[in-house]
Amino acid sequence: MDFITADEKAALIEKLSELRVVDKQLIQRIADARALGDLRENAEYHASREDKAMNDAKIKEIENRIATAQVADSSAMPTDMVFVGATVRLRDEDRGDDDLYRLVGQATGRFDLDYVEVTTTSPMGSALMKARIGELIRVDLPRGEKRFTILEIIL
């Protein structure tokens, strides 16, 4: 099951509405290209149909994700336990430095944030889920095991 925050669900709904607007534009592009004549040698027609197929696949993926995702209710979450949507300050026990991590359903891919996004299905996300302040977590990473202490949970 996929856990997402209310903000992530809102972003998915917004993206879905944008894709539906693009879908209408692609339908018009196909109709315009079809009106040009011979479809066998009509590159615009074939490119428009390919774009529409890719757009339809994205729409279906987002619709499926919205339908099957479990939205985490932030008001029902304990404040001393890590859940989806929580930002956590962790101390790397090997290096001794602190970093901020946010547990999310799906990463946005942005690197300009003040925190590192961690998905619930990643090794770090699995280790963080339901952990508490002061707890030492162990994360099995490709380069070996890392240990972190949870210093603070910021909701």
Q: What is the pLDDT of residues 113-147, one digit of tens each?
A: 888 989 888 899 889 988 999 999 999 988 889 99
Q: Where in the chain is the domain with CATH 3.10.50.30?
A: 74-154
What CATH number is given for 3-70 in this structure? Answer: 1.10.287.180
H or E stretch covering 149: strand 144-154
pLDDT digits (tens, 9 = 90+) for 138-152: 999 888 899 999 999
CATH 3.10.50.30 fits 74-154, yes or no: yes
pLDDT above 70: residue 77: no
Question: Is this structure's pTM higher than 0.95?
Answer: no
Which is nearest to 85 in space by CA: 44, 123, 117?
Answer: 117
- Between CA 68 and CA 89 the distance in angstroms is 30
